[in-house]
Amino acid sequence: MRLMLLLTASVLLLCGCSESLEKQTQKSKNSIIGKTTQEIGQFDPNAGLTVSDSKIQATDPLTAGTSAYGPMLEKISKSHIEHAVRLFEAENGHYPKNYEEFMEKIIKANQIQLPLLPGGKRYQYDEANHALVVVDAPTENQ
């Protein structure tokens, strides 16, 4: 009888925890999951910002999934923009002339929405390399 009671209590506890976690993820005002943006800054190589290498830094098996989330979003977003830039170049015979043309003819014209990145990382367009880069958000003292 005690074993049955213990198992029932465990199941109820687990069900309650998973529902609570699901609700927290969906309703949290600070959650970035499912949110998108067209906010892409103009990359300045002389600004001293750290450019992400988009590599997964997972050392703990318990948190590996969450450690991989940001870098995977970065890789997918970069790939998506690389494809759009190549299509633009094939159609027009040149890459976007500048940041403004990139934003107007690629991002806005195609209604591209990129997922928000965790950890204060931001998207920027590197005109010289015709590529999307991800940078760490500047700190207040920069």
Sequence-ordered alpha helix ranges (H) in the chain: 2-27, 64-92, 99-101
Q: Is residue 142 part of a domain?
A: yes
Q: Name which residue leads in pLDDT, 106 or 58.
A: 106
Tell me whether residue 130 is in a domain: yes
Inside any domain, residue 14: no
Are 118 and 28 in contact by the 8 Å Cβ rule? The answer is no
The average confidence (pLDDT) of the chain is 81
Q: Is there a domain that residue 3 lies in?
A: no
Tell me which residue range forms the domain holding 67.
37-53+61-142
Strand pairing category for 41-42 and 121-126: parallel
The predicted structure's pLDDT at residue 31: 83
Asked if residue 49 lies in contact with residue 136, where contact means CB atoms within 8 angstroms, the answer is: yes
Q: For residue 10, tell me if it sits in a domain.
A: no
Number of independent structural domains in the chain: 1
| Dist CA 97 CA 128 (whole Å) | 10
Point out which residues pair with 131 in neighbouring strands.
126
- The token pair that represents 105 in the structure block: 């003819």
pTM (predicted TM-score)? 0.71
pLDDT of residue 83: 97
- Residue 142: is its pLDDT beyond 50? no
